[in-house]
Amino acid sequence: MLGNLCRLMGARSPITRRLVHTERKVRVNGSDLNIVESGSGERSLLLMPGALGSSWTDFRPQIEQLPKLLPGHTIIAWDPPGYGKSVPPQRKFGLEFFREDAQAAVDLMRALDRPRFSILGWSDGGITALIVAGRHAEAVDRLAIWGAGAYLNVDEVKALKNIRDVAKWSPRMREPMEKVYGVERFPQLWAEWVDAACAFYDQRDGDFCRAEVEKIKIPTFILHGKKDPMIAAEHIPWLRERLPHAEYYEFPEGKHNIHLRYAEEFNKLVADFFNKKG
């Protein structure tokens, strides 16, 4: 959620190779979902943003740099329903919102005639990606995640409640989301998200997607910022135990936004992973 919005660039020409991004709306289940596409390869890579995130706030370096590193892929970043420019609908939370986003992502890729794809998922997008990979094995080639856990523990609940009031954030931290949602709507939406996340702890023992993780068989890459303050360290060994063949890479000084802070290194790592076949 720490990137900045970028202005819409020109429309794609159907007869030329897409060297820059294009942005458009796609009709999915009665809603117009905003996507940003870059590259022109036959294989597909879906970028899934974090909480309240969108294509540009969360993935500018990936949208701009990955096409050169993944020439065989088309890169597709989406704004989940109710986030970013995918409004309306108004964002709805509840105990099924991760699974609802997962289904919407699958339906989006089918609408794009790209029913099989790989996923790059950050934070909430990583949770959604785990659900897609666990529930729709036929749709996913490869999976890379960071900043995500399959459940929420008590310390994480306390941490979320401590940052529920965005008035306590620095202006630098608030500004990107205020630009997307407005000064009035952003605090409301963030509080709704925090309450929804904490409800998983109160009503489901913190469970986001434990069962789905157990079903994942596809090639998986877990990246991690060792100093990430947003997720408990216990999530990494938990995931690696259940995904024993997953590749793993750690940024010793990294925090939650390793793909932004260390964009060049991060992009090369994930490109090497997604360029593999099988």
- By annotation, the residues acting in catalysis are 123, 228, 256
Q: Among all chains, which residue has been given the structure tokens 């970013």?
A: 84
**Number of neighbours of residue 77 by Cβ within 10 angstroms:** 29
10 Å CB burial of residue 52 (0-12, 13-18, 19+) is buried
Structure tokens at 89: 């609908």
User: Which residues pair with residue 25 across a beta bridge?
Assistant: 34
Cis? peptide before 171, omega within 30° of 0: no
Q: How far apart are CA 265 and CA 6, in angstroms?
A: 22
Q: Among all chains, which residue has been given the structure tokens 């360290």?
A: 233
Long-range CB pairs of 204-209 (<8 Å, 24+ gap) are 204/95, 205/151, 206/151, 206/152, 206/153, 206/157, 207/150, 207/151, 208/98, 208/127, 208/149, 208/150, 208/151, 208/152, 209/98, 209/127, 209/130, 209/131, 209/134, 209/150, 209/151
